[in-house]
Amino acid sequence: MAKKASKQTIEELSQVKYVGPAKAEAFVKELGIGSIEELYEASKNGKLEKVSGVGAALSKKIHKAAGEALKATGPAEVAEEPAKKAKEAQKKAKEKKAKEKQEAKAKEAKAKAAEKEAEAKKEAKAKEAKAKEEAKAKAVETKKKAEKKAKEVKEKVEKKAKETVTEEVPPTPETARKRAPAKPAARTEDRVEQFIATLRCPACGHDEFDRGATTLTCTACRREYNFHNGVADLAPPKPSGRSVTQRIMESRFYARFYEDVMRPKLTGVVSDRSLSEEYALSSEMLELDDNTRLLDVAAGTGNFTRYFAQQLNEQGAGDDSLVVGMDLSWPMLETARTYLRRDGLDEQVFLIRGDATRIPARRAAYNRLHCAGALHMMKNIDEALRNFARILEPGGICVIGTFILGDGMMRRLVKRAAELPTQFHWFSRDELHQRLRRAGFEVVEDSVAGDAITVKTRRT
C-alpha cells in the first residue's frame, strides 16, 4: 500500500549505502518502509525486488548495508543476532548430544534384553533337559512296575491254572471229596424273576414282559419270545449282518467241535497262554464276588460261562449272583445247554439268543461283562462296545479278549490283507484302547500274550 514519504524518512534511508534519495522514496511509497530496521527486514525477505531497478544482487547489498547501519546506531535486534545464532547452535548441539545419549541408552537396553532373553532360553533349555531326564526316569520306573505287576498276574494265572487242571492219576475217594465242586444254586423262582428283570425287548426296547409257560411277551409291542429251560430267544427280528467267519461258526458241525478242537487250536496259534490260563486270567480280572451279575457275550458253547459259574460256586455265592451266556448261534447255544447239564450247572446259568450290537438287556442290568474271541468278528464293533457300556452299571467291570496285529511288518501286512475276505479285524493295542474309551470305558490294565490281548476296563 502506498505511503506518504516524509522528508526525514527519505533522508534516513538515503544514508544507507546503495539506496540514495530516489530509491528511498520508492521504498517508502511502494513498500511502506519507514525505518532502516524495516528496510533491513524487507531486503532480508526479498521485498525490495518488487521495486523497479532493484534486483536480487542489489537487494543483498542493501541488506548488508542496512545491517551495518543498524550496528552503527546500536539496535539490539541486529547486535544480538550472532549471539542468537550461537545460542541456537549450542541448543542444537545439546539436542544432538541428548539424542545420542538416548540412542546409547536404547542400545544398552536392547543388549541387556537380548542377554536376558539368551539367559531365559538357556534356562528353559536346561529345564526341558531336566524334564526329559525326569520323564525318562519315570518311564523306566513305570516299566519296572508294569513288568512286576505282569509277573505277579502271570504267577497268579499259572497258580489258578494249575488248580484247574485235572490230575492224570485217578483221584482216591478222599481226594475226590476234597476236590468236588460246591453244589450249584438251584434255579429258584426268585432267580428266574431276577433274570427276566434284566431283559429288554429287542423289537421296541420295552423292559417289561408277561411270562407264560414257555414264552415271554413284551407288554408294549406284544411280541412273543420263546423261553424254555432257562433259554430265552430274544434275537432281534432282523439281526445285524454277519461275517463269513461268523456264519461258519454258527454251523452245527463247527459248534460240535468248537470247544474240544477249534478253540484250543486257535488259542495255541495266536496266544502264548493255554485256554486254561485264559479262563483263569479273565476270572481274575472280573473280580467275581457274591453280588456278581455277569453277562458273557458271544458265549459260544459256554466254556468261559461255565468256568465263571464254577468259580462263583467255589466262593459260595448265593442267589444274589447271576450268570448269563449270550450268543446269536442256535447250534452254539444248544451245545452250551448240553454242557451245562453235563456239569450240573443248567439250573444256575441262563442262556440268551441275542445280538451283541442290540443286546436284549435293560440299562445297567449287569455289573460284569465278558466277551472273548468275538469282538474282532463283529461287523459294527463300536456299536457293540456302546451296547456293552449301556447294559453295565457305572463302575462295572468289562473284560474283553481279542487279537492284535503284533510285531513285524510282514505279519501286519498279511493280517491286514486277510481282513477283507475273512472280515476278521486285527486290532492295534492303541486302537482297541481308543475304541473302548470312546464307548465309555476306562482302561484299567491289559495282558498281551503273542497276538492275543485281554483288556480289563471299568464303566465310567
401 vs 258, higher pLDDT: 401
| Amino acid in position 292 | T
How far apart are the C-alpha atoms of 409 and 415, rounded to whole Å?
A: 10
Residue 22: what pLDDT? 85
Residue 458: what pLDDT? 98
* Residue 359 phi, psi dihedral angles, 5° rounding: -60, 125
Residue 85: what pLDDT? 72
Tell me how far the alpha carbon of residue 94 is from its chain's centroid: 64
Residue 188: what pLDDT? 77
Categorize the per-residue pLDDT at 420 as very low, low, confident or very high, splitting at 50, 70 and 90: low
pLDDT, tens digit (0-9, with 9 covering 90-100), for 62-90: 888 888 888 877 544 444 556 667 778 88
Residue 7: what pLDDT? 82
Instruction: Tell whether the model's pLDDT for residue 160 goes beyond 90.
Output: no
pLDDT, tens digit (0-9, with 9 covering 90-100), for 369-379: 999 989 998 98
Residue 223: what pLDDT? 96
Sheet of 322-327: strand order equals 209-211, 215-218, 224-228, 231-233, 349-353, 322-327, 293-297, 366-372, 392-403, 452-459, 441-449
How far is CA 210 from each of CA 131, 194, 204, 216, 388, rounded to the nearest angstrom?
65, 14, 15, 6, 26
pLDDT, tens digit (0-9, with 9 covering 90-100), for 246-292: 666 667 766 776 777 767 776 766 788 888 999 999 999 999 999 99
Categorize the per-residue pLDDT at 447 as very low, low, confident or very high, splitting at 50, 70 and 90: very high
pLDDT, tens digit (0-9, with 9 covering 90-100), for 165-215: 444 334 433 333 344 444 555 557 889 999 999 999 999 999 999 999 999
Instruction: Tell whether the model's pLDDT for residue 91 goes beyond 70.
Output: yes
Residue 179: what pLDDT? 42
- The answer to whether the pTM exceeds 0.85 is no
Instruction: Tell whether the model's pLDDT for residue 336 goes beyond 50.
Output: yes
Least confident of 183-197, 303-317, 391-405, 438-452: 183-197
Grid coordinates given for 322: 447271576
Percent of the chain topping pLDDT 90? 41
How far apart are the C-alpha atoms of 94 and 89, rounded to whole Å?
A: 9
| Amino acid in position 297 | V
